[in-house]
Amino acid sequence: MSTPSSPHHGPIVIVGQGAIALLAASQCALAGYPCYLQGRAAASQTAMPLDFRRGQQNFPLLLSLRPAHVSKVAVLLVCVKAYDAVAACRQWLPLLADDGCLVLCHNGMGTADAVTAMLGKSQQLWLASTTHGALKTGPHRLVHTGLGATMLGPANLAAKQAFATPAATLIDAMQAALAPVTLTPNIAELLWQKLLVNLVINPLTALHQCRNGELLAAEFQPRVAALINEAVQVATVQGIAIEQAQASALVRQVMQRTAENYSSMQQDVAMHRRTELAAITGFLLKCAKVQQLAVPTHQQLYDELTARLEPWQYQ
Ligand SMILES: NC(=O)c1ccc[n+]([C@@H]2O[C@H](COP(=O)([O-])OP(=O)(O)OC[C@H]3O[C@@H](n4cnc5c(N)ncnc54)[C@H](OP(=O)(O)O)[C@@H]3O)[C@@H](O)[C@H]2O)c1
């Protein structure tokens, strides 16, 4: 159980009760780091049981839920889908101390500006990008499907000013939750690299309902190349240094490494759930519009995919 008392640090509050939030809370519990989960509403219980599985090992955990008196915390980690991120931050920001750190951890882009606008001058915004994989296989069951790593970087002025000497509470909490954590001064570049991969793999696998590795087939290569080319142009105008060849190699590498996997968007479409398309292709289309750049291949892919979805699945 994550004991909500630490001699050195106050607790971290983790917003969300999905796969990544439960993974972060489980790892905190196993590390003995004080941690509370925050679901959509105030908790009526004090803890939730969770069977946490990693490899061949099972850990029966009892995760602490945030009691009403725990507030003004130093670290608030928000692990919700991109489409819920701004609303979740608005809802739970009152829990953050005036000089606290808000960490956003989701796929896709386009939420940081809105969240920055909500923060006080001394409140820091950090963005996290994790390659850990987790799957909720039941209301009280979580499988750590892939051991990964996390990059963490500053996103607003207060965080950028703190970058050289970040708060020990932030580093310790994030190491407990999503280790190993590496700090980067340029998280935007990293998020763009990840976006580039997601821009190709997610909508294509969702449209064709195939595994990531199937996109390596010759028939997809002209479309894959055009998607990468257009995305690199948009990224370049955004001030992100990425070469076409580097982006192509990265996308290919991910397709090969995750050849047997189904992407999150493929699964969302297959299960008739809401997708993160707005924060992935939708974000690129918005950037391109502002820059007055043509991205016809992304637009066509977006149109083809959304034609098969209901509006609530992609807005
Ligand atoms: N799962 C992975 O392996 C993985 C790996 C890397 C990155 N990611 C990314 O990480 C992000 C989170 O993914 P996930 O798999 O954890 O998603 P998830 O399983 O859908 O969990 C999201 C959770 O956020 C909750 N939520 C939404 N709004 C909230 C609010 N205002 N207050 C409190 N909780 C709220 C949801 O509650 P409800 O259930 O009530 O809607 C749900 O429990 C996504 O962007 C995903 O793409 C996931």
pLDDT tens digit sequence for 40-57: 998 889 999 999 999 999
Q: How many CB atoms lie within 10 A of CB 289?
A: 11
Is there an atom of ligand 1 within 6 Å of 166 CB?
no
Is the domain of 92 the same as that of 228? no
Same domain, 133 and 250: no
| Nearest-CA residue for atom 47 of ligand 1 | 107
pLDDT tier at 31 (50, 70, 90 boundaries)?
A: very high
Report pLDDT for 10: 81
- Are residues 217 and 109 located together in one domain of the fold? no
Residue 3 has pLDDT above 90, yes or no: no
Question: How many CA atoms does the CB half-sphere of 181 hold within 13 Å?
Answer: 23
Q: Check if 148 has its Cβ closer than 6 Å to any atom of ligand 1.
A: no
For 244-291, how does the pLDDT look when each residue is reduced to its tens digit (9 = 90+)? 999 999 999 999 999 999 999 999 999 999 999 999 999 999 999 999
Read off the CATH number of the domain in which 102 is found: 3.40.50.720
pLDDT of residue 212: 98
Q: Is the CB of 19 under 6 A from ligand 1?
A: yes
User: What b/e sequence results for 73-99 when a residue is b if at least 16 CB atoms lie within 10 Å of its CB, and e otherwise?
Assistant: bbbbbbbbbbbbbbebbeebbebbbee
CB atoms near residue 126 (< 10 Å) = 26
Q: How confident is the model at residue 5 (pLDDT cuts 50, 70, 90)?
A: very low
- Stretch among 1-15, 56-70, 81-95 having the lowest mean pLDDT: 1-15
pTM beyond cutoff 0.75? yes
Active site residues: 194
What separation in Å is there between the alpha carbon of 82 and the centre of ligand 1? 8
In this predicted model, what pLDDT tens digit does every residue of 212-239 receive, in sequence order?
Answer: 999 999 999 999 999 999 999 999 999 9
Q: What number is the average pLDDT over the span 17-34?
A: 97
Number of other CB atoms surrounding residue 51 within 10 Å: 15
The pLDDT value recorded for residue 1 is 36
Tens-digit pLDDT profile for residues 107-160: 999 999 999 999 999 999 999 999 999 999 999 999 999 999 999 999 999 999
Q: If pLDDT is split at 50, 70 and 90, which confidence band does 7 have?
A: very low
Residues 224 and 242 in one domain: yes
Mutate to test the pocket of ligand 1, among 14, 20, 261, 269 (most ligand atoms within 8 A of CB): 20
Rg of the chain in Å (alpha carbons):
19
In this structure, the answer to whether residues 246 and 128 fall within a common structural domain is no
Q: Rounded to an integer, what distance in angstroms lies between the CA atom of residue 109 and that of residue 280?
A: 7
Instruction: Answer yes or no: is pLDDT of 6 > 60.
Output: no
Query: Ligand 1 within 6 A of 133 CB?
Result: yes
Q: In what order do the strands lie in the sheet with 47-54?
A: 57-64, 47-54, 141-146, 133-138
pLDDT value for 43: 87
Assess whether 214 and 179 both reside in one domain: no
Phi, psi at residue 133, to the nearest 5°? Answer: -120, 135
Q: Are residues 69 and 193 in the same domain?
A: no
Residue nearest to ligand 1 atom 25, measured at CA: 16
Looking at the fold, whether 20 and 147 belong to one and the same domain comes out as yes
Asked which of 164, 184, 204 is the last residue of a domain, the reply is: 184
* CB atoms closer than 10 angstroms to residue 233: 16
In a domain, 7, yes or no: no
Q: Which amino acid, 6? A: S
**Ligand 1 pocket test, candidate residues 17, 27, 78, 81, most atoms within 8 A of CB:** 81
127 lines ligand 1 (CB under 6 A): no
Q: Ligand 1 in contact with 42 (CB < 6 A)?
A: no
> Are 123 and 156 part of one and the same domain?
yes
> What number does the ligand 1 atom closest to the CA of 136 have?
19
Q: Say if CB 148 and CB 134 are below 8 A apart.
A: no
Q: Of 32, 41, 98, 34, whose CA–CA distance to 68 is shortest?
A: 41
Cβ–ligand 1 contact at 278 (below 6 Å): no
With contact defined as beta carbons under 8 Å apart, do 107 and 82 qualify?
yes
Q: How far is the CA of 78 from the centre of ligand 1 (A)?
A: 9
Partners of residue 129 on adjacent β-strands: 151
- Mean pLDDT for 287-304 is 98
d(Cα 135, Cα 158) in Å, to the nearest integer?
A: 34
**85 and 40 belong to one structural domain:** yes
Domain count for the chain: 2
Domain boundary among 168, 184, 200: 184
Contact partners, residue 107, CB within 8 Å, separation at least 6: 81, 82, 194, 198, 264, 276, 279, 280
Q: Which domain holds residue 232?
A: 188-313
